[in-house]
Amino acid sequence: MQTFGIFSTSFDVEYLTQHYIYIPEGNEIIDVPQLEELLGKKRKTVAGTIFLYNPTLSPVGYNTNSKLASQGYEFDGKFCELNFDNNCNLFASAIKDGYRGKLIEIKYLFNINRPNIEPTPILEEFDADLDKYTSNQLTRYDKELNYHDYLNIRLNGKFVFFGSGNKFDRHHKNIIAYARNLSAQAKKLDKEIAFMYDSNYDVMESQEGAYFLPPVATGKFKDVRANAFKKAFSKYPPQIIKTS
């Protein structure tokens, strides 16, 4: 598997604004021009979308220990190949038959390329931003680079798999509504919706509360989540799976 992305920056904040993974047919390796050729015919080449919480990724030759700008990275608006993170490691082992030769787009609730934003005071700023999103008021983080205009979101492929999180603070009502609206819009666009859930909520309750378990976990949930994700993607399109 390979992974590619476009990084952007605004007011010293760095964002991953586009992200795709490529599931190879065999042992072939594609380069950026070949990726762009595939993206030129998205209807045929993009299988679907996976929604995660936020990225912590770096281009090949760089790392996530500091801002990319401080490492001399040039934000040229072009695709570059990325290093794997824990999500990509899981995707590489889990997504195979039925997806080979295809791209999967990775989208994030928040595109800010920064580790450990949950929970932090940043979420208070996100919640305030989302309250202002449809107005002409200025937001702390870039409207276009960090957030999705869910009513006008573009989704290619047959499915959207939501692994965007389940630990939203209940007082962050705008964040919860934002995540829920993205899911509802995907359904309106006639996409097959998939996610993982547990015994805390049933399928409908999970959708209503945007309770979508992330595929990567730690501790006792690590193998449970990874195995559930593999089961979800054992079919095309992926399925809704209960983890416990």
What does the pLDDT look like over 19-75, one tens digit per residue? 999 999 989 999 999 999 999 999 999 999 999 999 999 999 999 999 999 999 999
Contact of 223 with 243, CB cutoff 8 Å: no
Asked if 160 and 182 count as a contact pair (C-beta separation under 8 A), the reply is no
**What's the predicted TM-score (pTM) here?**
0.96
Please tell me the distance from the alpha carbon of residue 87 to that of residue 235, in angstroms, as a whole number: 19
What is the pLDDT at residue 188?
Answer: 96
> What dihedral angle (degrees, nearest 10) is formed by the CA atoms of 169, 171, 172, 173?
120
* Ranges in the chain, pLDDT < 50: none
What are the pLDDT digits (tens) for 130-145?
Answer: 999 989 899 999 999 9
* pLDDT at residue 121, as a whole number: 87
Q: Domain residues for 173?
A: 2-242
Tally of structural domains, the chain: 1
